[in-house]
Amino acid sequence: MTSVTVPGGQQVHYVDHGGDGPAVLMLHSFLMDHEMWQPQIEALGADYRVIAIDERGHGETPADRPFDYWDVARDAFAVLDHLGVERTAVIGTSQGGFIGMRMALLAPERITALAVLGTSADAETPEYAAVYRQIGEVFAQGGADDVIEGVAAICFGDGFAGAGPWKARWRERVQGDHARMLIHVLTGRDSLADRLGEIQAPTLVLHGTADRAYAMAQAEALVAGLPHAEPLVPIEDGAHFLSLTHAAQVNPHPKGFLATHVAGR
């Protein structure tokens, strides 16, 4: 993993897996980092130049000032500029979908295709925002185990064997004012619902039928509002972080989508 300092002085860590194929940028979920994409890197790496970043405040990328998801979208473009990548497909899960859609609005000519999983165009509801702020305050004060278990149940669903190392990272990394900042960004994001028609990239939407964070209706609204969306792909029993927890069911869909819209370009 390496890093680059982008305009404004923000340092961003990323992994460029290389290759001669078309570029695919991977944008991870809230509380996660670039390593959540390992199943997709294994599935796509032979055919594409897969690039994954740690978004602000996550993984090895710091966050020492207020920011929003538009700022993170600009960070991602700055990493691509550093790597000499003019155009890319984007795959984002949950928070990564928020950022990917903002990238498609900021510079539509640079986005060849967009795949979003377990995400929403909506602002957070006041009710959920209040709950998340309470959770953030617990994290800020050291993260009670029962709250961490509850968050893991929302994110990973039940019985995901790989949850343990991520919960350990949360206990270590998500504390104090850092936790409060991340929750503020999540709960304070603006709605894109009225701007979906501006996104011109071909788009694939996947959503888990067991997603406990966002209802299937929000995925249906994305497909209805995006002018070049493929039919919605429901992943049976898929959790909120379905690209990680249900990779075997997920992977054929972005692979086929990219082959249709990106391969050979």
CB 191 within 8 A of CB 101: no
Same domain (yes/no): 165, 199: no
Three-state secondary structure call for residue 265: coil
- Gap between the Cα atoms of 253 and 46, Å rounded: 16
Question: 178-211 pLDDT, tens per residue?
Answer: 999 999 999 999 999 999 999 999 999 999 999 9
Q: Specify the pLDDT at position 264.
A: 60
Same domain (yes/no): 141, 30: no
Residue ranges for the chain with pLDDT beneath 50: none
Q: Tell me, rounded to whole angstroms, the distance of Cα 223 from its chain centroid.
A: 18
CATH of the domain at 111: 3.40.50.1820
The residues that bridge with 12 in the sheet, in sequence order, are: 4
| Residue where one domain finishes, among candidates 188, 214, 239 | 188
Q: Specify the pLDDT at position 86.
A: 97
Same domain (yes/no): 51, 114: yes
- Gap between the Cα atoms of 184 and 201, Å rounded: 29
Same domain (yes/no): 153, 224: no
CB 69 within 8 A of CB 99: yes
Residues 6+ apart with CB under 8 A from 33: 54, 58, 59, 60, 169
Same domain (yes/no): 91, 141: no
Residue range(s) defining the domain that contains residue 182: 127-188
Counted domains in the chain: 2
CB 226 within 8 A of CB 199: yes
| Residue where one domain finishes, among candidates 146, 167, 188 | 188
- E-state strands within the chain: 2-5, 11-16, 23-27, 49-53, 88-93, 111-117, 203-208, 233-235
Give DSSP secondary structure letters for 192-253.
-GGGGGG--S-EEEEEETT-SSS-HHHHHHHHHH-TTBPPPEEETT--TTHHHHTHHHHTHH
Q: What one-letter code names the amino acid at 56?
A: R
Same domain (yes/no): 33, 154: no
Q: Specify the pLDDT at position 249.
A: 98
